[in-house]
Structure 1
Amino acid sequence: MTERKPYPSDLSDARWALIEPTLTAWRQARLDRRPTGQPASVELREIFNAILYINRTGIAWKYLPHDFPSYNTVYAYYAAWRDEGILAQLNYELTGLARVKEGRKAEPTACVIDTQSVKTSTNVPLTSQGTDAGKKIVGRKRGIATDTLGLILAVVVTAASLSDNAIGIRLLDEAKDTHPAISKTWVDTGFKNAVIEHGAKLDIDVEVVSRKAETRGFHVVKRRWVVERSLGWLMLYRRLTRDYETLPASSQAMIHIASINNLTKRITDESTPTWRGTY
């Protein structure tokens, strides 16, 4: 690894060891398809560190510090991993490891679904954003499905004008496709009969969990608090406080990256980078 002063977002050796096999296999497959078969000179760890830096700090690609590989190179890898599903694959692989570490089976059997509307930046095409009439937000809507630990199982990003029902159906499809053992899900009252009926077709029991009518103000809602906490975790990443991405697929990828960052720390019991205090 190139010698440079580390950033707080950098991967430790233990966290990189969880990610490296998947990225190395991906690179080898691409090299095998090349006519020359020449190995790439850039280090995959530095590429991923650069992506984590952007995800955590919220900067534009062109503002990537010069001690990382060039932003064009970093973005090219990011776009390839996004389009080929590598980031989603890493998310799901690490979710299984994190569940086993918590004493659960690798494959979840239940999930929780919720949505979050966020404002968009000026570069986001008008065709991919809309207005959430209920929350009075112009932008995009994120839908996530998590397991009962709050680990992300499925992600959907759409215009904010799309209904929770439509997003919920897509989340159920994605979650069931990736985790066939899922047979139960909890949702809030924004999800109506269409989601319940679609869940039944997939052999998933969809239960609507309502707030306690007799309790005023904030209170913890059974089951739903798990996914709401996960949405809160995402907001710790500045790239996700607003939707800056031109493509909804990039928005989903940025959520997967934040999730990968959380999962690797969870698996290795790291709350801060391991290079702290070593000088």
Structure 2
Amino acid sequence: MVERPTYPCDLSDARWALIAPRLNAWRQARTQAGVGGRAATHNLREIFNAILYVNRTGIARRYLPHDLPPWQTVYGYFTAWTNDGIFVQLNYQLTGLTRTKAGRAVHPSACIIDSQSVKTSTNAPLPTQGIDAGKKIVGRKRGIITDTLGLLLAVVVTAASASDNTIGINRLDQAKAIHPALAKTWVDAGFKNKVIEHGAALGIDVEVVTRDPQIKGFSVVKRRWVVERTLGWIMQHRRLARDYEALPDNSASMIRIAMIDNLTKRITDETTPTWRDT
């Protein structure tokens, strides 16, 4: 790897050691299958560093610094890893390691569901957008499921006009397939009987948690505060302040990358330097 000044979002040796086996296995499998034509020459660590740079800073890929791999190459790998489920696999693996470090079972038995509507950029095709009538936002809706530690278990990105019921059912199916031990989930009042009935069919008890009507202004809501905190974590990555991706699947990958960044730091006990550290 060519020596260059490091960026705050670059992977340390310890964090790269958590990610490298999965990416190296992916490249080896493609090489043996004859996919991609000529032999790969780009360093996978630098490719991942470039993806983290875009995710953390929010810049357009075309504006990647010249000491990182070409933006076309970075986008090509990002698309391939999205299509091949590499970000899903990494998130699953790192979530298990983080839960183990926290003294929890590898597979969670309880989760929390929530959604977030965000505006889109001009990159997003009109058919993938919609209007969230409640929040008066034109864009897309991110539906996530977290465990009780706030770690991402499943994510789906749809048009903002999609109902919480539709998103909730999709997320329950996705989370149950990946984490079969799930037996309990907490949701807000936007999720109706369809989600509760679908959860029962999957063996998941769905409990609706509502705010105390006697309390005015902001209040911490039981269990739901955990998933709200997770949404706050991912919003620290500027690429997620708005949905800039042309495809909803790419948007979901950007959310998973933000959590992979978070999880690797939790496992290695690292933090990202900020202006406060000076």
If the length of structure 2 is used for normalisation, what is the TM-score?
0.96
Aligned partners of 2:21 and 2:148: how far apart in 1?
27
Deviates further, 30-39 or 110-119:
30-39
1:22-59 Cα shifts (integer Å, max 9, x gaps) = 00000000010118986421110000000000000111
Match of 2:51 in 1: 51
Q: Does 1:104 align with 2:110?
A: no
Q: Which runs of 5+ in 1 are unaligned?
A: none
1:186-224 Cα shifts (integer Å, max 9, x gaps) = 000000100000000100000000111111110110100
Match of 1:132 in 2: 132
- Amino acid across the alignment from 1:172: L
1:226-276 Cα shifts (integer Å, max 9, x gaps) = 000001111111100000010000000000100100000011110136xxx
Aligned partners of 2:47 and 2:74 also within 8 Å: yes
Number of equivalenced pairs? 274
Q: Does 1:83 align with 2:106?
A: no
Q: Does 1:256 align with 2:256?
A: yes
Match of 1:60 in 2: 60
Aligned partners of 1:31 and 1:38 also within 8 Å: no
Aligned partners of 1:188 and 1:210 also within 8 Å: yes
Aligned partners of 1:129 and 1:221: how far apart in 2?
30
Match of 1:13 in 2: 13
- Amino acid across the alignment from 1:10: D
- Amino acid across the alignment from 1:121: S
Change (3 A) 1:67 1:191: same
Match of 1:189 in 2: 189
- Amino acid across the alignment from 1:167: I
- The alignment partner of 1:6 has SS state of coil
Aligned partners of 2:36 and 2:50: how far apart in 1?
27
Match of 2:159 in 1: 159
- The alignment partner of 1:48 has SS state of helix
If the length of structure 1 is used for normalisation, what is the TM-score?
0.96
Match of 2:177 in 1: 177
Change (3 A) 1:36 1:138: closer
Aligned partners of 2:120 and 2:138 also within 8 Å: yes
Aligned partners of 2:81 and 2:245: how far apart in 1?
16
- The alignment partner of 1:97 has SS state of helix
User: Where does 1:20-35 land on structure 2 (aligned, <5 Å)?
Assistant: 20-34=20-34
Q: CA RMSD in A?
A: 1.4
Aligned partners of 1:212 and 1:15: how far apart in 2?
42
Identity %: 69
- Amino acid across the alignment from 1:63: Y
Match of 1:40 in 2: 40
Q: Which runs of 5+ in 2 are unaligned?
A: none
